[in-house]
Structure 1
Amino acid sequence: MSGTERLKQLAGIMELPGFPKASGMRVVSAEPGKVTMALARRPDLMQFFGHFHGGVITALADHAAGACATSSMPEGKIAVTVEIKINFLAPADGEEIIARAETIQGGSTIGVVKVEVVSLKAGAERTCAFATATMRAMDLPAGFR
């Protein structure tokens, strides 16, 4: 599958009903083993200090990791989370957060992905979180192929 086809496939998955679509997550770029996703600032995604909520940051990292692992899998497979660990490094107070995921170890059933999440504010990036995720390959349900 070409990079363009993969990007379209992942973008299509993000358009399905659920939290990724409702929150506004979007796929910025995708190639086998590397995916970038972003999420624009909205009041309902913030915590009480005005920074992106940690759960929202984690959700973006999780979806980027899943998309990244899926990007290396054979057609008809999708990655689901087995485990995710995240370290919060700085407040995410920018106009958007960007998750850059890269496969560390791919496999036919289990993959490990690293994700750096940055906060983009006035054109400058600051790393706000770093995650690692273990993902498992599952068959994509027939209705989603």
Structure 2
Amino acid sequence: MNDTPGLALARATLAAQPFSALLGTRLTAFGDGAATLELDIREELLQQYGYVHGGVLAYAADNALTFAAGSAGGARPVTAGFTIDYLRPATGTLLRAEARVVRAGRTRVVCRCDLYAVDDEGNRSLCAAAQGSIAVSAPGEAAGPAA
């Protein structure tokens, strides 16, 4: 999955997102209906109790879901909607979002994402789970859900 021809293009797409660049997000796996994003947990991403802010978890899930859909061959994927369940506080040194396609249709792709907080020793703790619907369009069509 890590050495797919589309990995370089997917990484360039991620790098072109100013917010992702601000957070320092990395695409570590891409292909065959799956994608993994990682970002370092740092003080600026925490809420008042010292846990990773829920908005950061939601961002990671949203992007991982969309990249997983894109890896399944969906052109111009954009999130149509997603839900997230926060399971436990995210603490550690790394946030990892692992997404995979559940079903790829012609115009919608349904994906799931597990979010893990990873500590210095590499121990993973499942902190959130998300599921989303990703709209895909053919080249030349407007991207995104129909209005």
TM normalised by structure 1 equals: 0.89
Say if 2:27 is the partner of 1:11.
no
CA distance in 1, matches of 2:59, 2:139: 20
Q: Which residue of 2 aligns with 1:60?
A: 60
1:139, distance to aligned residue in structure 2 (A): 4.9
Could you list the structure 1 runs, at least 4 aligned residues long, displaced by more than 6 angstroms after superposition.
none
CA distance in 1, matches of 2:70, 2:32: 8
Q: 1:23–1:111: structure 2 CA closer, same or farther, 3 Å change rule? A: same
Q: Which residue of 2 aligns with 1:133?
A: 132
SS in 2 for 1:90: coil
1:118, distance to aligned residue in structure 2 (A): 0.4
Q: Per residue, is there more strand in 1 or in 2?
A: 1
Say if 2:103 is the partner of 1:105.
yes
Q: Which residue of 2 aligns with 1:124?
A: 123
CA distance in 1, matches of 2:21, 2:107: 27
1:140, distance to aligned residue in structure 2 (A): 6.1
TM normalised by structure 2 equals: 0.88
SS in 2 for 1:78: coil
* Total equivalences in the alignment: 138
- Structure 1, unpaired ranges of 5+: none
Q: Which amino acid aligns with 1:52?
A: V
